[in-house]
A and B are shown apart, each in its own frame.
Chain A
Amino acid sequence: MKTTKKAISAATSIVGVFIATMIFGAAIMLLIGKDPLLAYKAMFSYALGDVSAIANLMNRSMALILSALCYAVAANAGIYNLGGKGQIELGAIAAAVVGYKFIGLPIYIHLPLCILAAMVMGILGAAIPGYLRVKWKVDEVISTIMLNSIFFNFTSYLANYPFRDVTRWSGTTPPVEESARLPYLVQSIDLRSGIIVGLIAAAVIYWLFNYTNQGYRWKMIGLNPRFSQYGGINVGKDQMKAMVVSGLLSGLTGAVLVCGSNYRFWESIAGPYGWDGVLVAMLAGNNPLAIIAISFVFSVFKNGALGMEQVASVPSDLTGVLLAALILFITGREFVSIIFRKRKHIVLVEEEVN
């Protein structure tokens, strides 16, 4: 009862934010003398108009959902993993290499092997800054961001030298075997089941957050680490675990990118998803269900941008403006409610002081 109510209010507010963004965008288009109706029509038809557009949308949403989850898991436990991009790339190259080097394996061995390899690399990439933080108090915000460059250069080297596809111009690995690709969802449009992986991951994280002891401990650490330590929780150990799960999800993202839609690794394969994921998770308040919804909305704007430009000659830069407006409306909504809550809180705190 309560949860349905919550879900309905969340859904309506997302729709509301979406509509507000559209109206805002329309106003700007009118100002620069473009036809907003034409532009939006093009946007939707490019993002949702036919089956292959839907396939594109699914693939982008899947990557966003997974990448947002890996930030959310860590942030929820009060440790900030901004190294999603680099970790996804590590995972992706592992999946790509395992995917093309092994030939003749059955899919039920080959595919899990790819995913496993990717997860191991992702975990490695996240565990390093996690360990540095827990053991020596090295600020993980800085170390994860710095590791992004290191992992980018490392994977770029691998894709350009030892594992390069010599038939290609540069910086990609050979395509992975069919046995290393995710099963088809709809074969005719080349849509594989990556989105299912994303949805299942979100559901698992939701369950972890809300029903398990680990989720409770992460939440309490995220809310107040000092209190958690006082309560007898081993804060460092649990934050390390959060980083490991976060890295595992990064690796999975990389694997799904390679095995689910791109079929090979190329330089900066995580480019569009690493940071957008952080943004989506923040907007969603680290809630896995909200991450799904916001990822879809985000992807509609991103995928529709080309259509707006081609059909309505609206510069694709306007998508940036639309996304900025989207962020503003989502955070604005948060901001307004925070102000009201704060007010109430202050009164209560003052009341209690006397």
Chain B
Amino acid sequence: MMTETLLRLEKISKAFEGGVQANRNASLVVKKGEIHAIVGENGAGKSTLMNILYGVLQPDSGKIFINDKEVTITSAREAKRLGIGMVHQHFMLVPSFTVLQNVILGYEPKQNLVFVDNKKAEKKVREICEHYNLNIPLHSITKDVSVGIQQRIEIIKAIYRGAEILILDEPTAVLTPFEAEELFKICREMVEKDKTILFISHKLKEVLSLSNKITIMRKGETTKTLDTKETTEPELARLIVGRDQLWTVGKKKISSDQKVVLEANHVSIHNTAASYRIKNISFQVKSGEIVGIAGVEGNGQSELMEALAGLTSFDEGDVLFNGSSIINKPTSQLRAMGIRLIPEDRINTGSSIKATIKENLIIDKNDCAPFLSKMDMMNWKEIDNHSKKLIKKFNIVAQGPDTTVGTLSGGNLQKVVVARELSGKHSCLLVLQPARGLDIGASEFIYKQLLAARDEGNAILLVSADLDELFLLCDRILVIYEGEIVADFIPDKVTPEEVGLYMTGAKRAMSNAGSPL
């Protein structure tokens, strides 16, 4: 492996208006041909640092060196010229273009200075694909290919534009476990061929298996750079959060004679007349129990939960809550009974990002005392007090009840959602991807809240694609595949690998009727 220093950031500082110090004397040394991971909590300054490197933001002070030459990067175009490429978490692709068109967009080889030279373009892109062993269907329409392929398009696009350093921003957040493994192969292939990768991630396991070096950021500073070989997951976790105690989410055993709170009997949702989004699903959730639904995204789990919460409807079957049928009742009635949804889409469904924290916190209780006083008047004073209490109780980092929710970080936004749902009447929680995109500290906080709700006797149905999360929290794990429940496990008696096989459809243990074979 080469050892020359390719990129050096020296004492980068950046403050935003409002006095947030996003970076404080952050320094980074990246050698050629390494996979350098950057880890840290939400708001630790990783994105800001990467955006400075990519020319999107300008630092207040500090220097950037590439190949020991000092550079100022004033725009993303300048960054590309210097050989820096970035793959954003949200892809920047034109859905209706072919894959090839997307790759060459903005940097098309020209024929007679006017026309796009498609042959030359294709030849060049094919060379890149072959060189790095990347397989993509160049002539497919981009919106028809999978997310994993779309990410590959972004990577090829960056290389096509001459990237030597590739910044991958949370690349696995959108991928299935299999696709993630494919991505890692590609990364290893690329560094072998002299590219350098900066890898931003929350997932410590990934970081440990993929990277050579790890730089930890905390509160805007780069606190430490480690050799991956010489560190462990607990050590990393401790360095990231800055304290020792982690993952001590204690679980009480549940007694077996708890009553059934939520019961689904052979429910289905049609996609078209002949096909199903979810098919013939049956399960029970007892009081004081967390039942997990494991599955790769898009296998019907979201549709199931939304229909259970009354946002959409089932086509067949029945749902019982404490013994009485609640199928297809409106959300307001279900909420009044104590059935609450923590949705996966926090930004569009779980919150109103242009509204304030206090407006968000009372959406479900806006017409109840004490928030409503006589003559249909809102009691804003009481709402203020309520919001302040919840902000304190749930450690929401915000200036106050009047802060616009859209300005909060992901973790704090999720805390607002959870605070609202847990501050109303609840006996059954429908939870989707509660910690997705959150850092360790915020995840732990959310988990503790869920476990506390469980110990109070709530019945909790938890949908997640993260097996660690499911094994940590659940008393039972169901696996959903292509709209059907294909397995039912007790976490102690199964390995994550085994569950993974069911998630990807390699194995199935249940018949269509939902009873074990």
Contacts of A350 in B (CB 8 A): 47, 51
Contacts of B372 in A (CB 8 A): 213
Is A229 in contact with B51, judged by CB distance below 8 angstroms?
no
Q: B332's contact among A215, A220, A232, by CB below 8 Å, is which?
A: A232
Q: Give Cα distance in the complex from A142 to B217, angstroms.
A: 53
Is B200 in contact with A213, judged by CB distance below 8 angstroms?
no
Size of interface on B: residues with Cβ below 8 Å to A: 53
Q: Give Cα distance in the complex from A163 to B38, angstroms.
A: 79
Task: Tell me how far the C-beta of B435 lies from the nearest C-beta in chain A, rounded to whole angstroms.
Answer: 14
Contacts of B377 in A (CB 8 A): 211-213
Is A211 in contact with B48, judged by CB distance below 8 angstroms?
no
Is B410 in contact with A353, judged by CB distance below 8 angstroms?
yes
Is B413 in contact with A352, judged by CB distance below 8 angstroms?
yes
Is B437 in contact with A224, judged by CB distance below 8 angstroms?
no
Known: A219-B355, A232-B363, A353-B47. A227 touches B407 (CB 8 A): no
Residue B367, interface by CB 8 Å:
yes
Residue B378, interface by CB 8 Å:
yes
Residue A231, interface by CB 8 Å:
yes
Is B354 in contact with A213, judged by CB distance below 8 angstroms?
no
Task: Tell me how far the C-beta of A229 lies from the nearest C-beta in chain B, rounded to whole angstroms.
Answer: 6
Q: Give Cα distance in the complex from A352 to B341, angstroms.
A: 22
Task: Tell me how far the C-beta of A204 lies from the nearest C-beta in chain B, rounded to whole angstroms.
Answer: 13
Residue A217, interface by CB 8 Å:
yes
Known: A224-B354, A351-B47. A233 touches B332 (CB 8 A): yes
Contacts of B72 in A (CB 8 A): none
Is A354 in contact with B42, judged by CB distance below 8 angstroms?
yes
Contacts of B343 in A (CB 8 A): 230
Q: Which of B234-242, B345-353, B466-474 makes up part of the contact surface? A: B345-353
Residue A143, interface by CB 8 Å:
no
- For B293-320 the 0/1 string (1 means CB < 8 A from A) is 0000000000000000101000000000
Task: Tell me how far the C-beta of A351 lies from the nearest C-beta in chain B, rounded to whole angstroms.
Answer: 5
Is A220 in contact with B363, judged by CB distance below 8 angstroms?
yes
Contacts of A262 in B (CB 8 A): none
Residue A5, interface by CB 8 Å:
no
Residue B359, interface by CB 8 Å:
yes
Is A348 in contact with B311, judged by CB distance below 8 angstroms?
no
Contacts of B364 in A (CB 8 A): 231-232
- For B35-67 the 0/1 string (1 means CB < 8 A from A) is 000001011101110010000010000000000
Known: A347-B57, A351-B48. A224 touches B352 (CB 8 A): yes
Is B410 in contact with A227, judged by CB distance below 8 angstroms?
no
Contacts of B349 in A (CB 8 A): 226-227, 230
Residue B408, interface by CB 8 Å:
yes
Contacts of B378 in A (CB 8 A): 211-213, 215-216
Task: List residues of A (301-354) whose CB comes within 8 Å of B's CBs.
Answer: 344-345, 347-354
Residue B212, interface by CB 8 Å:
no
Known: A347-B16, A347-B57. A213 touches B366 (CB 8 A): yes
Residue A234, interface by CB 8 Å:
yes
Task: Tell me how far the C-beta of B402 lies from the nearest C-beta in chain A, rounded to whole angstroms.
Answer: 9
Residue A214, interface by CB 8 Å:
yes
Residue A150, interface by CB 8 Å:
no
Is B170 in contact with A220, judged by CB distance below 8 angstroms?
no
Task: List residues of A (217-260) whose CB comes within 8 Å of B's CBs.
Answer: 217, 219-220, 223-224, 226-234
Residue B21, interface by CB 8 Å:
no
In the complex formed, the residue of A with least CB distance to B420 is A231
Residue B330, interface by CB 8 Å:
yes
Task: List residues of A (188-223) whose CB comes within 8 Å of B's CBs.
Answer: 211-217, 219-220, 223
Task: Tell me how far the C-beta of B82 lies from the nearest C-beta in chain A, rounded to whole angstroms.
Answer: 21
Is A214 in contact with B42, judged by CB distance below 8 angstroms?
no
Task: Tell me how far the C-beta of A221 lies from the nearest C-beta in chain B, rounded to whole angstroms.
Answer: 10
Is B409 in contact with A352, judged by CB distance below 8 angstroms?
yes
- For B346-390 the 0/1 string (1 means CB < 8 A from A) is 001111111100010001101100001001111010000000000
Taking Cβ atoms with an 8 Å cutoff, the residues of B that contact A are: 16-17, 22, 40, 42-44, 46-48, 51, 57, 89, 169-170, 200, 202, 309, 311, 330-332, 335-336, 341, 343, 348-355, 359, 363-364, 366-367, 372, 375-378, 380, 406-411, 413, 437
- 23 A-B residue pairs with Cβ-Cβ distance under 8 Å, sorted by A, are A211-B378, A212-B375, A213-B372, A213-B377, A214-B376, A217-B366, A220-B359, A220-B363, A224-B348, A226-B348, A226-B349, A227-B348, A228-B352, A230-B311, A231-B366, A234-B330, A344-B17, A347-B51, A348-B406, A351-B47, A353-B410, A354-B40, A354-B202
Closest 10 CB pairs of A and B: A231-B363, A232-B332, A352-B410, A224-B352, A352-B409, A354-B47, A227-B352, A232-B335, A354-B46, A350-B47
Contacts A232-B331, A351-B22 supplied; 20 other A-B pairs, CB < 8 Å: A213-B367, A215-B378, A216-B359, A217-B366, A230-B341, A231-B331, A231-B363, A233-B332, A344-B16, A345-B407, A348-B409, A349-B406, A351-B42, A351-B43, A351-B48, A351-B409, A352-B413, A353-B89, A353-B437, A354-B169
